[in-house]
A and B are shown apart, each in its own frame.
Chain A
Amino acid sequence: DAKTTQPNSMESNEEEPVHLPCNHSTISGTDYIHWYRQLPSQGPEYVIHGLTSNVNNRMASLAIAEDRKSSTLILHRATLRDAAVYYCILRDVGNAGNMLTFGGGTRLMVKP
């Protein structure tokens, strides 16, 4: 799976939007972009995924650049509970296995 690059950490104020960037310049046409997050003392949890079009769900939005070399996870109103490490992961559609290749992720700190 191709590699992703994320900032080590970001800060946000509570109830403000947060944009978490991810660069994946070597993405292939069959790579899906997945986001997981890991809250303190918990296992990772799925947030959202997409291929080419922007995606929305109850947790977040995913904005994918037209050339797919970068993407942004958007939390519309950050809460204290959103403080976590956010991982951007590329997963080949041909990879039927369960293996996720985690990078270092972005540690999001939310200030009250």
Chain B
Amino acid sequence: KAGVTQTPRYLIKTRGQQVTLSCSPISGHRSVSWYQQTPGQGLQFLFEYFSETQRNKGNFPGRFSGRQFSNSRSEMNVSTLELGDSALYLCASRPGTSGKNNEQFFGPGTRLTVL
């Protein structure tokens, strides 16, 4: 079974631009979450989607948004990029949202650099 895939793997943008990152979860997984990882703040939760609905949201400004499609693929968008948005963006999937122990499967991430 293929793992979580994220595209693109690397991206360079300039301040003020917007960016869209894509995540394809493991086949059969319906829950997708996004995390931001920076050297200063570590791994921080952005949001979670299940069945095309956002279920949880982290403490990030409205410039960060996401969506999920009927095939469970997810995209996240960052508008009006700032230098501080440079980070590794990680996507994680799991089968559903119920249950206490659902292991999460992470993708390799998209490395975004904002110049």
On chain B, the number of residues with a Cβ less than 8 Å from chain A's Cβ atoms is: 30
Give the size range of A's interface with the partner. 20 to 34
Inter-chain contacts of A104 with B (CB < 8 A):
42
Q: Would A45 and B97 count as touching, CB distance under 8 A?
A: no
Specify which of B33, B90, B102, B104 lies most central, judged by the most chain A CB atoms within 10 Å of its CB.
B104
Specify which of A91, A93, A96 lies most central, judged by the most chain B CB atoms within 10 Å of its CB.
A96
Q: Would B92 and A97 count as touching, CB distance under 8 A?
A: no
Interface residues of B in 51-89 (CB under 8 A from A): 55-56, 58
Nearest Cβ on chain B to A72's Cβ, whole angstroms:
19
Inter-chain contacts of B56 with A (CB < 8 A):
97-99
Nearest Cβ on chain B to A101's Cβ, whole angstroms:
7
Per-position binary interface string of chain B over residues 44-56, scored 1 when its CB falls under 8 Å from any chain A CB and 0 otherwise: 1100101000011
- A49-B108 contact, Cβ under 8 Å, with A97-B48, A98-B31, A99-B58: no
Inter-chain contacts of A46 with B (CB < 8 A):
103-105
Inter-chain contacts of A42 with B (CB < 8 A):
106, 108-109
- A97-B97 contact, Cβ under 8 Å, with A43-B108, A44-B43, A45-B106: yes
User: What is the bound-complex CA distance between A101 and B33, given in angstroms?
Assistant: 12
Inter-chain contacts of A36 with B (CB < 8 A):
104
Q: Would B106 and A98 count as touching, CB distance under 8 A?
A: no
Q: Would A96 and B42 count as touching, CB distance under 8 A?
A: no
Q: Would B98 and A99 count as touching, CB distance under 8 A?
A: no
Nearest Cβ on chain A to B11's Cβ, whole angstroms:
16
Q: Would B45 and A101 count as touching, CB distance under 8 A?
A: yes
User: What is the bound-complex CA distance between A36 and B105, given in angstroms?
Assistant: 10
- A98-B97 contact, Cβ under 8 Å, with A43-B109, A44-B43, A44-B106: yes
Interface residues of B in 25-46 (CB under 8 A from A): 31-33, 35, 42-45
Q: Would A99 and B33 count as touching, CB distance under 8 A?
A: yes
Instruction: Show the binding face of B for A, using Cβ within 8 Å.
Output: 4, 31-33, 35, 42-45, 48, 50, 55-56, 58, 90, 92, 94, 97-109
